[in-house]
């Protein structure tokens, strides 16, 4: 609830008038709890960590600025997901990501097998510096969305069908071949699409190394996007946050509410776990798994 919601609620229920500033002072008691949550110890190994950003308007030094809240959602080796942290930042950079990666390492993470991202600037360099063995998977769904944003309505169906032959291919070799065929057909009209896929291919194609169950888990950041959608539902009544702290308070309380329902692991986790044990045997042995 926003402070004005709480104010109205108290007046309606108890006929008590409480000012916005008093409500803020009361809800500020949550800040140390948020900080403690942000610094809590984590598991030593995460099978997958999804990273994504969600944007909010925050008042800062007398003006309204758009700030990104970067969210790290992890799936541990028992298949359970957890929000590892939320970080408010004005812009992405390798330095910013390095501080987040070091923070995760200091909280006990020894290894992240696969990191799934949506083309975050500076992220690959930062994760390589802290977790050099981590595989990076660029979200294929985001890549498709970005590729087709300016495609004409009459071309979209045929172009999407040709793109599907690339990302749904059985092997990386077939996918690259299909990408060349795509270029022959569409490059004259939409040259940027092929270029974008080739520029990002190193991280877009990671999932081709793995069997179907792992592919389904990592080729899209759907897991974190679903969580972000739920956060947006909670925050939609608040168009501008007065400070970073007020934003974090609301997001933390919403997160606690959403994650209460996360009780079990994925239905196909047994199969995924068996495959991860084969593909990452040395790294899991090293970490004592």
52 and 158 both lie in a single domain:
no
pLDDT at 115: 95
243: which residues sit within 8 A by CB, 6+ positions away? 58, 59, 60
Residue 225 and residue 109 in one domain? yes
Q: Residue 136: which residues within 8 A CB-CB, separation 6 or more?
A: 114, 115, 117, 123, 124, 127, 203, 206
* 216 part of a folded domain: no
- What CA–CA distance (Å, rounded) separates 58 from 238? 10
Is 91 in the same domain as 232? yes
pLDDT band with cut points at 50, 70 and 90 for residue 93: confident
How many residues are there in the chain? 289
245 & 260 share domain: yes
- The tokens for 148 are 């087709």
How big is the chain by its Cα radius of gyration, in Å?
A: 22
Q: Quote the tokens at residue 67.
A: 């700030």
| 52 plus 181 within the same structural domain | no
| pLDDT tens profile 101-118 | 999 999 999 999 999 988
- Per-residue confidence (pLDDT) for residue 225, from 0 to 100: 84
> Is 265 within a domain?
yes
Instruction: Give the whole-number percent of the chain exceeding pLDDT 70.
Output: 98
pLDDT at position 185 over 80: yes
Banded model confidence at residue 91, pLDDT cuts 50, 70, 90: low
**In this structure, what CATH number is given to the domain that contains residue 247?**
3.30.420.10
End-to-end Cα distance, the chain:
42
Number of domains the chain contains:
3
Please state the rounded mean pLDDT for residues 249-255: 91
Q: Are residues 113 and 63 in the same domain?
A: yes
pLDDT of residue 182: 97
For residues 197 and 140, give the distance between their C-alpha atoms in angstroms, rounded to a whole number. Answer: 10
Going from the C-alpha of 152 to that of each of 156, 187, 222, 267, the distances in angstroms are: 6, 14, 26, 39
* Residue range 201-225, pLDDT digits in tens: 999 999 999 999 999 999 888 888 8
**Residue among 99, 113, 96 at smallest CA distance from 44:** 113
Among 225, 276, 269, 278, which residue's Cα sits nearest to residue 113? 276
Which three-class secondary structure state does DSSP give residue 151?
coil
Q: Kindly indicate the confidence band of residue 90, based on its pLDDT and cuts at 50, 70 and 90.
A: low
For residue range 129-153, list pLDDT tens digits in order: 999 999 999 999 889 999 898 899 9
Q: Would you say residue 279 lies in a domain?
A: yes
Longest dimension (CA), the chain: 71
Q: What's the token pair of residue 252?
A: 């933390």
Whether 186 and 133 map to the same domain: the answer is no
CB atoms within 10 A of CB 12: 9
Which range of 22-36, 118-132, 154-168, 252-266 scores highest in mean pLDDT? It is: 154-168
Statement to judge: residues 50 and 183 lie in one domain = no
pTM for the whole thing? 0.88
Parent domain of 174: 142-204
Q: Return the pLDDT at 20.
A: 80
Q: Do 47 and 32 lie in a common domain?
A: no
């Amino acid at each position: 609830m926003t402070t004005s919601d709480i104010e109205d609620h108290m007046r309606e229920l108890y006929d008590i008038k409480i000012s916005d500033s008093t409500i803020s002072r009361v809800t500020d008691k949550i800040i140390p709890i948020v900080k403690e949550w942000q610094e809590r110890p984590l598991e030593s190994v995460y099978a997958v960590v999804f990273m994504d950003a969600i944007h909010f308007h925050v008042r800062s030094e007398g003006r309204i600025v758009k700030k990104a809240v970067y969210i790290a959602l992890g799936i541990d080796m028992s298949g359970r997901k957890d929000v590892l942290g939320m970080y408010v930042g004005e812009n992405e950079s390798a330095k910013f990501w390095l501080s987040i990666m070091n923070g995760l390492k200091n909280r006990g993470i020894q290894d992240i097998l696969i990191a799934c991202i949506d083309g975050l600037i500076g992220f690959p360099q930062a994760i390589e510096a802290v977790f050099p063995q981590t595989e990076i998977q660029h979200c294929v769904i985001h890549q498709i969305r970005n590729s087709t944003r300016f495609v004409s309505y009459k071309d979209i169906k045929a172009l999407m069908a040709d793109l599907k032959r690339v990302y749904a291919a059985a092997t990386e070799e077939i996918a690259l071949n299909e990408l060349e065929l795509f270029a022959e057909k569409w490059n004259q009209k939409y040259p940027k699409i092929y270029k974008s896929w080739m520029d990002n291919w190193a991280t877009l194609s990671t999932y081709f190394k793995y069997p179907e169950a792992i592919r389904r888990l990592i080729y899209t950041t759907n897991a974190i996007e679903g969580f972000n959608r739920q956060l947006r539902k909670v925050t939609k009544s608040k168009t501008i946050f007065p400070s970073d702290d007020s934003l974090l308070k609301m997001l933390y309380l919403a997160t606690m509410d959403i994650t209460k329902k996360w009780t079990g692991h994925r239905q196909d986790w047994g199969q995924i776990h068996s495959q991860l044990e084969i593909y990452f045997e040395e790294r899991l042995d090293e970490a004592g798994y």
